[in-house]
Every structure is written in C-alpha cells, then in structure tokens.
Chains A and B, each alone.
Chain A
Amino acid sequence: MGWETVIGLEVHVQLATHSKLFSGSSTTFGAAPNTQASVFDLAMPGTLPVLNEQALRMAVKFGLAVDAEIGRRSVFDRKNYFYPDLPKGYQVSQLDFPTVGKGSLEITLEDGSTRVIGITRAHIEEDAGKSLHEDYQGQTGIDLNRAGTPLLEIVSEPELANAKEAVAYLKKLHSIIRYLGISDGNMSQGSMRCDANVSVRKTGSTELGTRAEIKNINSFRFVEKAILHEAQRQIDILEDGGRIVQETRLYDADRDETRSMRSKEVANDYRYFPEPDLLPVVIDEAYIEAVRAELPELPNAKRERFVAQYSLSEYDAGVIASSREMAEYFEEVVTICADAKLSSNWVTVDLQAVLNKQDLEIEQSPISAMRLGELIARIKDQTISSKIAKTVFEAMLDSTQSADEIIESQGLKQVTDSDAIEKLVDEVIAGNPEQVEQYRAGKEKVFAFFIGQAMKASRGKANPEQLNALLKQKLKA
C-alpha cells in the first residue's frame, strides 16, 4: 500500500503599507538598522498601539478576493513568547476572531485542470525584528526596523495533495496579492514567506498523520523541494516502524534537507489572551462594499474575459492573466496590432524567452508594448513575414528604434510583387534541373528544397504564400 502526502500552507504576506501596523514608523525595506524603530516599536513603557486603517483595508480586500467571510468584529490577541527581536514579549495577532474567515482559492495544475483549495482564515499580525547572529563581540545584533510591520497570515486547509499543488497554490496567492496591490510578494526580500505543514498517511486513510512544520522556505522552487524531501523523510521513518514527532523543521536549501529546529513541547505554549490595549475592530457593510468597489478584475475573471473577448485558449489566457503586468502589456499590444492570437504568441513565447534569459520582469521589458504591437501590425499587413519579424525583434532588443525604422533601414520589407517572385522561381527552377526532375518523378519532398533556395535568394523576404503557390504552379508545368 502506498503513501499520500497532506499539505497545508501558512503564508505570511507583508502588507504594503507606508507605516507600521500600530505605529507611525516607516516600513521602507533596506533602511539602516533601527532607524525605523520608534519608542512604540521598542516597547517603551507608556506607548500604546493605534491600528493602521490601510492594513485593515488590505486584509478585507484579500478576503473579498477569495470569497471569504469578513469578520464583522475582529479581536486582537497577544501571543506570548520571549525572544530579543520581540521587545514587547508578545506578538499582537488574531486568534479566535480573525478579520478574514473561511474562503477558497482556485488553483490551476500543470495539466490545465483546476482544483479549489479551502482557505481556513487570514489574520492580521505584526512582524518581529531581525536577529543577526554573526559575531558582534560574541553577542547577537538586533535590528527592529521590521518589528511591527503589518503581516497577513493566510492559512490553507490541509487539502494540498502534493508539492506541485502547493506550488500552484502559492503562485495563485502570489498573483492575487499582486493584483490587489496589497504586497509586492517578493519572496527573496521576505515580503512573502511560507511555512508548510506536511504529514503523510496510508493511501485512502481519512485520518491525518502527525505533521511537521517546515519553516524558512523563501522561493517557489524551494517549496516544492522542501515538501518532497520532508514527505520522503516521514515515509522512510514510518516504513522503518518509527514514529513522526510533531516539531518545527528548518529547510536548508544548500543541503536540500530539513532539520529539527526546536521541540515544540515546552516552547509552544503561547498563552494567548485578548490584547487589552486594543478594542475590537468593527467592520460594517458600507465599509465592505466600499472596499469591494476598489477590487480590480482578478486573474480568473480576466482569464475568462480573454477567452471570450480574444478567443485565446484557456491555457494562453491563463498564462497571460496570471500576472497583472503581463495582462496589461498584452492588452496594449492587442490594441495596437489588433491581432490577439499573434499578440499572445509573441508575448508568451518570444518576449517571455527574452525576459527569462535576462531575468527581467515584464515591466522592465527591453521592448515596450507599443513597439511590439507595431511589429506585429507589420506581420499582419504583410509588410514582413513572421520569420523576418524574428530578425526585427532581435534588432529591437538592442535599440530603441521602431519596427518600421528597422524594416526600412535593413531593407527587410517583404517582396509581394508577383513579377519579382516569378523571376525568383524561374531562376531556382532553371538552376536546379536535377531536383526538378526528381520532383516531377513524384518525389514531393524536394519541394521544401525549392522553397529554401528561393527564400535564400530573396534573403527571406519573399512572401511565403505567394512563393508557395507560384512554385507549385511552375513545377507542374
């Protein structure tokens, strides 16, 4: 009998507010240590928290985007533990009454099929500072710039069945928070962090196995590797007759392994209680509707519109709609060239290849949507062939010239003059009597040879359809 994996993800998303959750300190990334840590962030006596409205709004926005129940009355609690990068001795979080309740997220798997994954809840909490364990006179250095930065912790149901689904879920989440503009979702800078609860059980069993929580996963690729590794570790233990210990494990990307971080037995008693310094947060219908009105068109709706409006395939529409920036780029290209299918191909294949190679986001594309649109327009009106278009595209990468300027200066205009093409065809036929004989004897494969020769003679500029038709006609004669 085989094993199946059960995964639940806890994703911390840093909300893109200007100031902290409970204080007016800046949240800018990369500032000099402790220059954004005020008396409140340092937990000086007498300071009191005041909730940032924007953080609340962002949480509600997320809740609406995943069809979640919005907590009409949410309550903040203290989660108590001692660590030097948490000066108050407690983290303000939400335990029983989170701002975002049950919701769901549709994920798309590699084969194009979709699954709906339950979201248990999403609560607002504050981040801790950073501990730097390099040697500072044998001590630990503390930077409290990040202390008090607003986070939204999004908890999924344990419904993800394998590492690939976990990655698909994470990517969808990433796409939605970027669409909503509530976080930049930058995993390498820690603005999106993922903990995975992983357990295994005998296939078909309905009971959950003992889980281990894997922390410190900071890229999509590592999520997949860490889960695969951890599931295998647990299966090995169980098959050897061992037992899984509930614990927190750390993923080490360099060694591709997880290792035990701390035993949860004593440490994990957080003694939650309602935060007496904060009153319950009440959200009314009018507030929810106002936030709902701010929601942008989300990835699924956009994908469906792309299918309906531009006749794209579900797959292409999904790829383009997964990023708000790519979707906007694509629509600008379509507006200019008026050909959605070609635009989709150029954006998802040719342009994407360049972006991948140069490690760029589409916002940093060396070719603007306008320039690409103009290039595609020239394919469409037959000024150039698709093949020549690739040459122009390459040339555009290293210049700021428009497609028309490049076509003009490099003399790449397609030859559609039928006299010129006819002359070309005659020359090729006259120059290759042997192949002509073969073709006429029934060896039709040779046709490609003639096309090749003619194209070469025209330096790729002959209109392919015209050339094709004329060659066929002349070879028959």
Chain B
Amino acid sequence: MALEQTDVEKIAHLARLHVSTEEATEVAKRISSILELIDQMQGIDTENVAPMAHSFDAIQRLRPDVVTETDQREYLQKIAPSTQDGLYLVPKVIE
C-alpha cells in the first residue's frame, strides 16, 4: 500500500507536526515501505492467534483506592508559562 502526499499531510495535521511539502514526499516513501512490511505480515494466517495487547506476557497490577497525592499546585505552577486564580492559561481554544 503506497501512501500519497495528502495522506502524510493529514496524519501530520492530526499529530500536530509540521511537515513541509518537500519532506512530505520523502516521508510518504518511507512510511509506504513500512506499510509494505505490514502488508506482508497481513498475508500470514492468524486465524487461531489471539491478538496481542502487550509485548510483555504479564497482567496488570492493581492499586488500592487510596489518595496518596497531596496538593502541589504552587510547586507545579512555577514552571507554567501563565496561570491565574489557580488555573493554567493557554491560548484561547474557541472563537
């Protein structure tokens, strides 16, 4: 499966990455070669193989429902570019 330049632009937009037009052609080629490998893998019969969710053959450990964190707002907000009334300020997200 070959990727078009427009596919690359769309993926880059979703990932909020800046990819120039020249780069897009090159990136499309490189991703396409990865997809070829995937095409090969998809040719393999996996009918009786359960999908793998994780590369470790282990199961999730659970933690008890206990509050262990304390308020560190003041400390954490020292590195924030902008705060007010305890809020983190970010560029306006709606018009």
Residues of A whose CB lies within 8 Å of any CB of B are 17-19, 23-26, 32-40, 42, 50-56, 73, 75, 80, 82-84, 96-97, 131-133, 136-144, 266, 269, 271, 274, 276, 278-282
Interface 9-mer from B28-36, B37-45, B78-86? B78-86
Task: For B14, list chain A residues within 8 Å (CB).
Answer: 80, 266, 269, 271
Considering the chains assembled together, what is the distance between the CA atoms of A467 and B64 in angstroms? 68
- Listed from nearest, the 5 A-B pairs whose CB atoms lie closest are A24-B68, A54-B65, A141-B87, A33-B86, A53-B62
In the complex, how many angstroms separate the beta carbon of B75 from the nearest chain A beta carbon? 10
Chain B residues 39-95 with CB under 8 Å of chain A are: 51, 53-56, 58-69, 71-73, 76-77, 82, 84-94
Whether A52 pairs with B65 at a CB distance below 8 angstroms is yes
Whether A266 pairs with B13 at a CB distance below 8 angstroms is yes
Task: For A144, list chain B residues within 8 Å (CB).
Answer: 88
Considering the chains assembled together, what is the distance between the CA atoms of A316 and B94 in angstroms? 49
Task: For B64, list chain A residues within 8 Å (CB).
Answer: 53-54
Considering the chains assembled together, what is the distance between the CA atoms of A132 and B92 in angstroms? 10
Considering the chains assembled together, what is the distance between the CA atoms of A55 and B68 in angstroms? 16
Given A34-B87, A131-B93, answer yes or no on A280-B59 (Cβ-Cβ < 8 Å): yes
Listed by A's residue number, 9 A-B pairs whose Cβ atoms lie within 8 Å are A26-B69, A34-B73, A35-B86, A37-B73, A51-B61, A80-B14, A274-B53, A280-B53, A282-B60
Point out the residue from B71, B77, B89 that lies within 8 Å of A141, measured CB to CB. Answer: B89
Given A23-B69, A35-B73, answer yes or no on A136-B10 (Cβ-Cβ < 8 Å): no
Point out the residue from B54, B66, B69 that lies within 8 Å of A38, measured CB to CB. Answer: B69
Point out the residue from B54, B65, B71 that lies within 8 Å of A279, measured CB to CB. Answer: B54
Task: For A133, list chain B residues within 8 Å (CB).
Answer: 92-94
Starting from the known contacts A34-B77, A139-B89, A140-B91, 8 additional A-B residue pairs (CB-CB under 8 Å) come to A34-B73, A51-B60, A141-B88, A266-B13, A274-B53, A278-B54, A279-B60, A281-B59
Task: For B67, list chain A residues within 8 Å (CB).
Answer: 18-19, 24-26
Considering the chains assembled together, what is the distance between the CA atoms of A19 and B84 in angstroms? 26
Point out the residue from A54, A276, A280 that lies within 8 Å of B60, measured CB to CB. Answer: A280
Residues of B whose CB lies within 8 Å of any CB of A are 10, 13-14, 16, 51, 53-56, 58-69, 71-73, 76-77, 82, 84-94
Considering the chains assembled together, what is the distance between the CA atoms of A360 and B8 in angstroms? 58
Considering the chains assembled together, what is the distance between the CA atoms of A50 and B63 in angstroms? 6
* Closest Cβ neighbor of B94 among chain A residues: A133
In the complex, how many angstroms separate the beta carbon of A82 from the nearest chain B beta carbon? 6
Given A18-B65, A35-B71, A269-B14, answer yes or no on A137-B84 (Cβ-Cβ < 8 Å): yes
Whether A83 pairs with B93 at a CB distance below 8 angstroms is yes
* Closest Cβ neighbor of A131 among chain B residues: B93
Given A26-B67, A53-B62, A280-B60, answer yes or no on A136-B93 (Cβ-Cβ < 8 Å): no
Point out the residue from A35, A50, A80 that lies within 8 Å of B61, measured CB to CB. Answer: A50
Whether B69 pairs with A276 at a CB distance below 8 angstroms is no
Whether A39 pairs with B87 at a CB distance below 8 angstroms is no
Whether A143 pairs with B87 at a CB distance below 8 angstroms is yes
* Closest Cβ neighbor of B63 among chain A residues: A50
In the complex, how many angstroms separate the beta carbon of A273 from the nearest chain B beta carbon? 10
Task: For B63, list chain A residues within 8 Å (CB).
Answer: 24, 50-53
Considering the chains assembled together, what is the distance between the CA atoms of A136 and B82 in angstroms? 10
Considering the chains assembled together, what is the distance between the CA atoms of A35 and B77 in angstroms? 11
Task: For B77, list chain A residues within 8 Å (CB).
Answer: 34
Whether A24 pairs with B92 at a CB distance below 8 angstroms is no
Task: For A38, list chain B residues within 8 Å (CB).
Answer: 69, 72
* Closest Cβ neighbor of B90 among chain A residues: A84
Task: For A25, list chain B residues within 8 Å (CB).
Answer: 67, 69
Considering the chains assembled together, what is the distance between the CA atoms of A119 and B67 in angstroms? 32
* Closest Cβ neighbor of B14 among chain A residues: A269
Whether B13 pairs with A32 at a CB distance below 8 angstroms is no
In the complex, how many angstroms separate the beta carbon of B82 from the nearest chain A beta carbon? 7
Whether B13 pairs with A279 at a CB distance below 8 angstroms is no
Task: For B10, list chain A residues within 8 Å (CB).
Answer: 266
Task: For A131, list chain B residues within 8 Å (CB).
Answer: 93
Task: For A96, list chain B residues within 8 Å (CB).
Answer: 51
Considering the chains assembled together, what is the distance between the CA atoms of A34 and B66 in angstroms? 19
Task: For A97, list chain B residues within 8 Å (CB).
Answer: 53
Given A42-B76, A266-B13, answer yes or no on A33-B87 (Cβ-Cβ < 8 Å): yes
In the complex, how many angstroms separate the beta carbon of B46 from the nearest chain A beta carbon? 15
* Closest Cβ neighbor of B59 among chain A residues: A282
Considering the chains assembled together, what is the distance between the CA atoms of A266 and B64 in angstroms? 40
Considering the chains assembled together, what is the distance between the CA atoms of A116 and B55 in angstroms? 41
Point out the residue from B13, B54, B66, B76 that lies within 8 Å of A18, measured CB to CB. Answer: B66
Considering the chains assembled together, what is the distance between the CA atoms of A102 and B81 in angstroms? 47
Whether B69 pairs with A278 at a CB distance below 8 angstroms is no
Whether B86 pairs with A34 at a CB distance below 8 angstroms is yes
Given A274-B53, A282-B59, answer yes or no on A17-B65 (Cβ-Cβ < 8 Å): yes
Task: For A56, list chain B residues within 8 Å (CB).
Answer: 62
Task: For A83, list chain B residues within 8 Å (CB).
Answer: 93
In the complex, how many angstroms separate the beta carbon of A452 from the nearest chain B beta carbon? 64
In the complex, how many angstroms separate the beta carbon of B89 from the nearest chain A beta carbon? 4
* Closest Cβ neighbor of B68 among chain A residues: A24
Task: For A141, list chain B residues within 8 Å (CB).
Answer: 84-85, 87-89
Considering the chains assembled together, what is the distance between the CA atoms of A19 and B62 in angstroms? 13
Task: For B84, list chain A residues within 8 Å (CB).
Answer: 136-137, 141
